[in-house]
Chains A and B, each alone.
Chain A
Amino acid sequence: MKVKEFAEKLELKRLTGESGLDKEITGVYACDLLSWVMSHAVKGNIWITVITNINIVAVAVLTEVSCIIVPEGLKVENVTIKKAQQQGIAILSSSMDTYGICCRAYTLLGK
């Protein structure tokens, strides 16, 4: 499934507009310690995090995750959004919490 379809099915808000919606999703990774995510997230994963500073864009570029989802309706700083757009990364926002997003992802993506 592509990021775009996933975003539509979960009614996620596209904070970065059209950027990065074409990437293929391979699974889900949820963690907030960026140094840990750097060495554990897998290419194509949806990455769920409550961290919203500009470093998440750097980590997303490095790990080649398919997109970033911020849970619980968190606000994301403008610098982060601008950088994500430049780098072609989608940042999506959900009103659900991390567990809720994972559960929905499971029903859509399996395992």
Chain B
Amino acid sequence: MRDLSLHLMDILQNSIAAKASKISVFIYTDTVQDELRIVVEDNGMGMEPEQLDLVADPFATSRSSREVGLGIPLFKASAERASGCLTIESMKGKGTIVTATFKISHIDRLPLGNVAETMVHVILSNPQLEVELTLHDSRDGSFHFSSAYINEMLGEVSISDYEIITWIRDYIDEGIKSNFGGVLNEIDY
């Protein structure tokens, strides 16, 4: 995969497939540790310990449509290629936390890509889902987006409205720029 937002999409699809009603995404950068951390937390069906052990094996998918699942193995490979790692914590019936870390300055670290588009896509195709995005850099400041909060503010208006979606996309883009501009070399700020 060419960028992290595509990996993120895959991980979010896993949470949706696990019937999560709420998904929280955290993206942190720490310039001192030279680390980028992406965390996806869901309240879906979770996994049994045996299943969790096998999840990084591409032939261990629970899909019935095909025999290989590559979402997690590829994300793990991308993290490890950039001196990072991928860990998964999961509890059956409670939910799952997927954490991937990357050495920011590693030459093979993939760029963030279009995180706003990934979030918007997930919101549009799952209007009932509660989606949160938190961005934070160690220097200071942070950014928070919550679809539940937006829904509350909107009242009768749908979050899928063209104007609202456009606003969300720009808002997230701005958040990415203001938190990660000057930290991640791919961000044009």
Contact = CB atoms under 8 A, between A and B. Distances in A.
Contacts of B111: 53-54, 77
B188 interface: yes
Contacts of A34: 107-108
B108 A53 contact: no
Interface residues of A, number: 15
A19 to B, nearest CB: 19
A61 interface: no
Interface residues of B, number: 12
A79 to B, nearest CB: 5
Contacts of A52: 2
B176 to A, nearest CB: 13
B165 to A, nearest CB: 22
B2 A77 contact: no
Contacts of B170: none
Contacts of B3: 53
A51 B2 contact: yes
B19 interface: no
Interface string B142-156: 000000000000000
Contact of A35 (B2, B108, B187): B108
B107 A59 contact: yes
A50 B3 CA distance: 11
B48 to A, nearest CB: 35
27 contacts: A33-B108, A34-B107, A34-B108, A35-B81, A35-B107, A35-B108, A38-B107, A51-B2, A52-B2, A53-B3, A53-B110, A53-B111, A53-B185, A54-B111, A54-B185, A54-B186, A55-B107, A55-B108, A55-B185, A59-B107, A77-B111, A77-B186, A77-B188, A78-B188, A79-B185, A79-B187, A79-B188
Interface of A: 33-35, 38, 50-55, 58-59, 77-79
Given A35-B107, A77-B188, 10 more contacts: A33-B81, A34-B107, A35-B108, A50-B2, A53-B111, A53-B185, A54-B186, A55-B185, A79-B185, A79-B186
Interface of B: 2-3, 81, 107-111, 185-188
